[in-house]
Structure formats: C-alpha cells, structure tokens
Amino acid sequence: MFQALGDKLESVFRSIRGTGKISEDNIKEAARQIRLALLEADVNFRVVKEFTTHVTEKALGTEVVSRVSPGDMFIKIVHDELVEMLGGQPATFSLAKDKINTIILLGLQGSGKTTFAGKLAHRFKKEGFKPLLVACDIYRPAAVEQLKVVGQTVDATVFEMGTQNPVVKIAAAAMDKAVAESFNTVIFDTAGRLHIDEVKMDELQALKNLVHPDFTFLVADSTTGQDAVNSAEAFASQVGIDGVCLTKLDGDARGGAALSIKKITGKPIVFAGVGEKPENLEFFYPDRMAGRILGMGDVVSLVEKAAEVVDQKQALEMQKKIRRETFSFQDFLNQMKMVRRMGSFKDVISMIPGLGKLAQQDEGAFDEKQIARFEAMIQSMTMEEREKPEILNGSRRLRIAKGSGNSVTDVNDMVREFDMARKMMKEMLAGGGRGLGAMLGMGGGAPAAAARKGGGGRNPAGRLGSNYTPPKKKKKKHKRR
C-alpha cells in the first residue's frame, strides 16, 4: 500500500545523503518534498502540517553525531515522527478467559466488518477462546447469510434471528446463549450504511448500553482514504470507540487513512487486515509499520510468522541433511510449502531489511509462478527420484516435464538451481548461519532459488543472494621436510 510514499521518501533521503551537512535550506526543501508526498498519499492536511513542522524543528535542533551521517540522522527523525503519527506505542488489547468478552464492530457498508469478524474469531480460537459471532445487521440483503458463510469458513458458531427488530433483542438472546453454552467471546457484527449520515447511531448506542462491550472497534477500509478518516471521526464522537481496525491494508491505494486516523480521532489502530484469508490479520505495531514504509523491513513480524509455521524438529533435521549433503527434492518441496504458509514470497521478502524496496520495485525478482512451477515438477517425480536427485537421467526428466506441463529445459534448469542452492546452503551453514534462515533449515537459499525467473547456472539465489559471498576456505599449511 505504501510503495509510492516509500519511494518518494527514499528520493528525499537520497538528496539529503548527497549533502555534506544538514542546513536550514536543505531541511526546508526536504520537508517541502515530504509534505507533498504525504498529501499525495491522501494523508489529512492537518496531520501533514504537524508532521513536517515537527520534522523540521527536530532536524534543525539536532546535533549530528560525528559517526552518523546527516542523511541517516534525518531518516531517524522521520522514522520516529512516523511512528508517533501512527500511534507511538501499540494499542493495549487482551481478553480474559474467566468471563464473557464482548466486542462490537462498527463501520460503513463495504468496510469489511463481516469478514473482519471472522478473522477475529479465527484468531481468538487459536488463542484458546470460544467465540460466538452475532448477526446484528438486519438491513443489508444477505448480510446474515454472509456471516454464516464466514462462520463456517473459520469453524465458529453464528447466532442469528433473521431480520427481527429491534437489534437489542437479538443481542440479549445472543448473550443468553453465550452464558448457557460457555462462549467466552461474543463478537457483534452490526449494520452499516453507504454514508455516515445514514447510520442509525441511536441503535448502536442502545446496543452498547445493553452489552457494555469490553471493546468497541470501528472497522475502516484503508483504501477509501479521507472517507475512512471522516467516518472514524463521526463514530468516535457520536457512539464512542476504543480503537480502529483497518482492512485491505495489503491493497495498492495510497494509505492516507492509516497515517491519519490516530491523530484525528485520538484512538489507536489495533488490528490490520493484510489479505483475504482468515489468518491474514495482524496486530498493529506503529514502529513496525513505519519500518516497512521506509523500506527498513520488519524482522520481528517475520520471525513471529516463522515461529507460527516452522516445525523446529523438521528445521533441525533439514540442517542436518544440508550438512550431510542428503537434502532432497522432497525436503526442498517441504521447505517451500513452509515459507508459503508465512504469506506470499514477496511479502516475506519485504520484511527483510534492505530487501523491502527490491521486493516492491522488481516484480520479476520474486516470481510466485516460478515457485509453483518448481513445485509441479517435484510433485511429478516419484518418491525415489525426490530422495535421490542423482538418478534423474534423460528419460526421467522427459517424463517429469510432460507430467508438470513444462519443457525438459525447464526441468534441467530446476535441477541445476537445486544443486547450486544446496551447495550454497551448506556453505552458509558452515559459515555459522543463524536467525530466520536457520529456523527454516535453509540458510536462506532454497526458496530464493525457486523465486527467480529462469535458470541457466547463475547465482542460485538470484537477486536475493547477489551480495552473498561464501566463506573462504583456509589453505592448509604444508610442513617442510
């Protein structure tokens, strides 16, 4: 979402880096460029004015440390102000297992409330809670049916009474069911309208008075820009909200809503929807989002995602196989599936410091289709061929090519990539590879090899591994006789 803004800020940083020192003139020019970039990103003009004023004041009043370049110091100032704009500290959110937690979702039609309700239920189930989804949208056609479908998708119970009015009657019956059947989290999906003036605020207030919710969240579509900010301001003043949950944050819109809402409403962003799947829901961390916008990566989120999908025993076994040179095509396939469970390969790469911009700028460097082709070729192999790559003769490769819908050249390229990636992974582990690569049992090579288009014996990691230098082998000293 923030690619255009990130590119413009990067251009500003380059111009500052090119100067020998920070001066009032170049700071004011940089601030002007940042102001234009933020306005183009549809950030609220009041927020933009406050942001650029703070950046200018801090930049002019900061003494540059001798070991830090003026450009880096300026980037830190912008980063810190961006974190502050997004809310500073992450929101406080927790549920109690010894009571019934109640959550009311508000928002306009089309903001994604129903889908978001399902994502919350999915998240809470993973955390050991028993959620109940309540259909309180009695006005929008098929709204109840949509929530029932969402509930089936995430295996969560849905309570509904059709289009019966008033809504408070539905809510009261839902709470009775929660007590009777030991549901400890109740999520109310309320009605929205196309415009804020049409929303039945008195109905929502009556619902709040009955339920006394632990959390009242506004669900806002981040792609609608200032409309999302205006609706947040109206709901906050007329009904009262505890926080904002942004949907469609993985879209290609300008992202001004995410950068404006906290400053305008005073309410924190709590959750962010970053995809269509139930698991595509993230707790919102201002510092991590600022890092992504500025292309600094988000290692913490990356490691958290890895921890959710990585089987530690499997990862350690992969490392042993790499060291013994018994890493097979089946291991390669398992590894790619493991990485895929973390999200798209491009999204994973964008969280790695220094590679975020590459993931945004070079679509061809991380080709998801190429990974799918590699998987198809491996799945067309027999188990013996997967475990013993050395037996892949010409006739076997021809059969694999036909079975996967590829050419023999494609299969040859894939085998070559695999061999080179396997050697590189061994060298990286020998050099003391740690962190995420070690967690995945790969040292960073295999999925990277699969991600690059083509083949042809070049660097097995493609663009990703272009800066990798294998550890030098020590020369043996021969004693003179």
Q: What pLDDT does residue 63 have?
A: 56
Distance in angstroms (rounded) separating the CA atoms of residues 228 and 98: 35
pLDDT above 70 covers a percentage of the chain that reads 71
Distance CA 208, CA 239 (A): 9
The CATH number of 101-294 is 3.40.50.300
Residues of the chain with CATH 1.20.120.140: 3-85
CATH tag, 304-451: 1.10.260.30
Query: What residue spans in the chain does CATH classification 3.40.50.300 cover?
Result: 101-294
Mean pLDDT of the chain: 77
**Residue 401: predicted pLDDT:** 92
- Nearest-5° angle of CA 379, CA 382, CA 383? 95
Element containing residue 265 per DSSP (H, E): helix 256-265
Statement: residue 461 has pLDDT above 50:
no
Which of the given ranges, 15-19, 151-155, 299-303, has the highest pLDDT on average? Answer: 151-155
Which of 160-174, 435-449, 455-469 is least confident? 455-469
Q: What is the pLDDT of residues 69-90, one digit of tens each?
A: 667 778 888 888 888 888 888 8
Cα distance between residue 77 and residue 99, in whole Å: 44
Q: Where in the chain is the domain with CATH 1.10.260.30?
A: 304-451
User: Which percentage of the chain shows pLDDT scores above 90?
Assistant: 26
Measured over the CA atoms of residue 318, residue 323, residue 326 and residue 332, the dihedral's sign is: positive
Q: Is residue 425 classed as helix, strand or coil in its secondary structure?
A: helix
Which residue, among 366, 108, 91, 349, has the nearest Cα to 223 in the 3D structure? 108
Residue 70 is predicted with a pLDDT of 66
pLDDT tens-place string over residues 164-185: 788 999 999 999 999 999 999 9
Taking the whole predicted model, whether its pTM rises above 0.85 is answered as no
Superfamily of chain region 3-85: SRP54, nucleotide-binding domain (1.20.120.140)
What contacts 466, CB < 8 A, 6 or more positions away?
A: 459
The first and second tokens of residue 318, run together, are 């992969």
Above 90 in pLDDT, residue 101? yes
Contact (Cβ atoms closer than 8 angstroms) between residue 288 and residue 298: yes
Q: Which residues contact 196 (CB under 8 A, 6 or more apart)?
A: 108, 230, 231, 234, 235
Q: Are 332 and 460 within 8 A, CB to CB?
A: no
**How far is residue 161's CA from residue 157's CA, in Å, rounded to a whole number?**
13
Contact call for residues 221 and 245 (beta carbons, < 8 A):
no
* Listed range (69-83, 226-240, 355-369, 406-420) with the worst mean pLDDT: 355-369
Report the C-alpha gap between 280 and 182 in whole angstroms.
27
The lowest-confidence range among 48-57, 124-133, 139-148, 322-331 is 322-331
Residue 378 has pLDDT above 50, yes or no: yes
- How crowded is residue 66: how many other Cβ atoms within 10 Å of its Cβ? 5
How would residue 448 be classed by pLDDT, with cut points 50, 70 and 90? Answer: very low
Label residue 381 by pLDDT band (50, 70, 90).
very high
The mean pLDDT value for 30-51 works out to 87
Mean pLDDT of 48-54: 90
